[in-house]
Amino acid sequence: MNILIRPADPTEYEPLGEITAQAYLQDGLLDFGESDAYLGELRAVAKRAAAADVLVAVENGHLLGGVTFVPSGGPMADIAQQGEAEIRMLAVAREARGKGAGESLVRACVDRARATAGCTAVVLSTQRTMHAAHRIYERVGFTRAPERDWKPLPELDDITLLTYELTL
């Protein structure tokens, strides 16, 4: 396994957006499928890269997946508080799963957080059904923070995102 984690190149924004969108669609994570408004956000890698750090996992020149790392607040943060970094939109192409790309991306975010002055924790949100991701987070050392669970769409009472955190 020779996975390289590095900042996304602008030429990778579109393919990474499609990997992210397809990961959410194929895993049934979007309540409204192809018409889900969040699909546009998942594909908007250039927008994320302008406001946060987008990292990719590459093996032998092949794009496996990516993640958005929010070092400290800003427009891409959903739940991060003062002194916290946030991980968002972790996705690995279906055919690349099981190679360690997801865990490598999460570990790279934790390393970045540790290198960020004043950063004391890393937080992230996840859906209840993202069991493989939960296992990655727990292997890396994240723990559930149920008191921080939240509803991204308050009008849809059935969608609650789970929060995980890692104290640095």
Cβ atoms of 69 and 116 closer than 8 Å = no
pTM (two decimals) = 0.93
CATH of domain 3-167: 3.40.630.30
Give the whole-angstrom CA distance, residue 113 versus residue 48: 18
pLDDT per residue as tens digits for the range 63-113: 999 999 999 877 899 999 999 999 999 999 999 999 999 999 999 999 999
The residues spanned by each domain of the chain are: 3-167
pLDDT per residue as tens digits for the range 121-168: 999 999 988 989 999 999 999 999 999 988 876 666 677 899 999 999
